[in-house]
Chain A
Amino acid sequence: MTDTIIKFDKVVKRFGDVTVLNELDFTVKRGEKVSIIGPSGSGKSTVLRILMTLEGIEGGVVTVDGEPLWHEGPNLKPASEAHLRKMRAQLGMVFQSFNLFPHMTVLRNITEAPVKVLGLSRAAAKARADELLDLVGLADQAAKYPHQLSGGQQQRVGIARALAMRPKILLFDEPTSALDPELVGEVLNVIGKLAEEHDLTMLLVTHEMRFAREISDRVLFFDQGRICEEGSPEDLFTAPTQDRTREFLGSILKEG
């Protein structure tokens, strides 16, 4: 088993005539925390959506833990649904707009997939959910429905729900972009806590530059479907080498 858990090899993604990812190459090491930043439309979220198997690819190969994600077999034929199901089990995703199931209680949101997909008993799934709710600071909210919670609380449930499937890789797709400013902190705190776990690989698409700088091992700056610059948070934020990166960081800092 290699130390590389995610590998994009010349990955091409198009939506109609628009090329979103243009022969994208990058790798992520096991346990690494990587932030992806960049202007909107640069393909950051698409990278996560391809990994979560929500979007297919037009070219190249994506490898997750040594196995091709969108292909299977020695001839790399397109993946079957069974292969995708197997691969998907290694990944979890936290969505920008939470995507909780509004008709399920918080507890049911977290236990539904562990019971139905992993085959856990209701009691075992509940025990795990209680632990996770404790972790995200919502131990007393298990019986509530999502609409009874604040956005920040909903997103923390979203994180617990993803973790309940014990993924090796957790994908965060702009997890605080839909939140009121005063609720951003509580969600970032939880993500920061997770970042201290050494086993979990994290990919975070975010506009929270200060946070990305704090928790990341590495930062990728995306522009027009390619990685324009990458490096340690220190280097990238304090001494960017590319004009495009400087321009982007300048505009973000002016806003914030």
Chain B
Amino acid sequence: MLFGFEWDTSGPLVFAISILPMLLVGMWVTIQATVLGFFMALVLGLIWAVLKAAPSRIVSWPAKAFTEFLRDTPLIVQLFFLYYVLPEFGIILPAFMTGALALGMQYSAYTSEVYRAGLEAIGRDQREAARALNLTTVRTFTHVIVPQAVPRIVPAMGNYLVSIMKDVPVLSVVTVLEMLNVGRIIGDRTFNYLIPLSLVGGLYLIMTLVASAGLRLLGSRLPKQGIPLK
């Protein structure tokens, strides 16, 4: 029994059907961790991107060093650090929050590069036109650069959403009951790993296919010229 559901081991098909609700509970955790981690990656990444672009090296250099560190160390190391080391300093987060934070931190290093590339792609031409018209730096950023950068940024961000989804099983090592962990627990208790793990794989495939299709649709709908301003 898991999450209040009973499994039925009398036959392969009934077993599969009986454990599906448990896996779906795990899948819901996976989706939540993905969304929360992705959201943190988007917010933190933007902060890093702005700091890295700062004119002062005292600001930009630590930001560059930190994102490089995030990118070049394994997710699981960062996760262990957050889960086992932070409590020594009195910071105790629930396993799920720790996991989402680890995902968000690691991926913020990647998203900051996407922001940087997207913003830099809006060329000198546009900045000069805005300057010649005496638009302020802030107005130029919010109404000239960002609307044109969004269509370049969104597709690349979408790829990281799918990547984060596929990295969620790493959180099982700090006891988060995401889908793979649920499948493994079912296997441990019923001595049948084939069916639960196959189902986990299948459900993962469905999730990533749905996410990719949604992202493709979003990508094709994005106006190439930028978010239109009338």
Contact = CB atoms under 8 A, between A and B. Distances in A.
Contacts of A85: 134
B214 to A, nearest CB: 24
Nearest to A49: B128
A102 B129 CA distance: 12
A95 B134 contact: no
B151 to A, nearest CB: 9
A254 B143 CA distance: 46
A116 interface: yes
A52 B229 CA distance: 26
Interface string B73-98: 00000000000000000000000000
A102 B226 contact: yes
A26 interface: no
B133 interface: yes
Contacts of B227: 103
Q: Max chain A CB contacts within 10 Å: which of B125, B134, B228? A: B134
Interface residues of B, number: 22
Interface string A88-128: 11011101010111111101100011001100000000000
B133 A108 contact: no
A117 B147 CA distance: 19
Nearest to B123: A99
A198 B134 CA distance: 25
A161 interface: yes
Contacts of A145: 225, 228
Contacts of A89: 134
Interface in B211-230: 223, 225-230
Given A101-B144, A103-B147, A95 B133 contact: no
B220 to A, nearest CB: 18
Contacts of B148: 102-103
Interface of A: 52-54, 85, 88-89, 91-93, 95, 97, 99-105, 107-108, 112-113, 116-117, 143, 145-147, 161-162, 165
